[in-house]
Amino acid sequence: MIELPALPYRQDALAPHISERTIGYHYGRHHAGYVANLNKLLAAGGGATGGAAAGGGATGGGATGLEELITNAGPGVVFNNAAQTWNHTFYWQSMSPDGGGDPSGELAAAIVASFGSVDALRAELTAKATGNFGSGWTWLVRLGSGGGAGGGGDGAGDGAGGGELAVVNTDDADNPLVTGHQPLLTIDIWEHAYYLDYQNARPAYIATFLEHLINWDFAAANYAATPDA
């Protein structure tokens, strides 16, 4: 039985940037819906692993059964609902009522090493999230030892080695864990994430996310929890 994790803040905590109404639908209907669908599928024998806690975030410590489902299920409805469950838990943590500003410490150094500057990373996140066609996710990841981000996402820089940071897009429910990359932060760019507040103005949602909501502390904790490649 997968449980819907509690939001890390109140449903009105991100207003006015993301409204209580958006969070109410997004968390209470969409995220909860993925959890309910997944439990139905698992009860019907659709998954190899049951009894998982809905993790999301390396800070929880270690792989959860949910992460095993994501990496082992293969394409299909079990994967879609397991990944959407995990992705949304990770997304809520990627934002904070006290978000925005700049990263510090080891994460900031890694960002400068991989992108040149924090502003360059923000430009890369903006370009990738704006250009991610249709429904999907834009991620800051630490590349696995396998190198560039393959799979359904777009390339993460030719020749980028394990341990470097990259921005990658995924389609629909897809998750970088499938291609061996460690998510540090994500932006949900499904329309349900922003349409009530921003209508079709995805760039305004992305700009607000980066200026007011982005939770660098969460990314830094995920970075610190990732073993050196």
Asked if residue 205 binds Zn ion (CB under 5 A), the reply is no
Nearer to Zn ion, 190 or 216 (CB): 190
Nearer to Zn ion, 89 or 179 (CB): 89
Question: In the bound complex, what is the minimum distance in angstroms from residue 105's beta carbon to Zn ion?
Answer: 29
Question: In the bound complex, what is the minimum distance in angstroms from residue 35's beta carbon to Zn ion?
Answer: 13
Question: In the bound complex, what is the minimum distance in angstroms from residue 156's beta carbon to Zn ion?
Answer: 23
Nearer to Zn ion, 67 or 188 (CB): 188
Q: Show the tokens assigned to 134.
A: 């249709």
Q: Is 10 helix (H, G, I), strand (E, B) or coil?
A: coil
Nearer to Zn ion, 147 or 176 (CB): 176
Residue in 114, 99, 121, 106 with CA at minimum distance from that of residue 221:
106
Q: Which amino acid is at 182?
A: Q
Q: Draw the binding track, 156-195, toward Zn ion (x: CB under 5 A; -: no contact).
A: --------------------------------x-x--x--
Question: In the bound complex, what is the minimum distance in angstroms from residue 166's beta carbon to Zn ion?
Answer: 22
Nearer to Zn ion, 32 or 118 (CB): 32
Question: In the bound complex, what is the minimum distance in angstroms from residue 26's beta carbon to Zn ion?
Answer: 6
C-alpha separations of 19 from 43, 89, 130 in Å: 34, 18, 21
Read off the DSSP letter of residue 5. P
Asked if residue 27 binds Zn ion (CB under 5 A), the reply is no
The edge-to-edge listing of strands for the beta sheet with 136-142 is 165-171, 136-142, 182-188
Place of tokens 């998982």: 52
Q: How many Cβ atoms sit within 10 Å of the Cβ of residue 171? A: 15
Residue in 143, 7, 17 with CA at minimum distance from that of residue 88:
7
Asked if residue 92 binds Zn ion (CB under 5 A), the reply is no
Q: Which residues bind Zn ion (CB under 5 A)?
A: 188, 190, 193
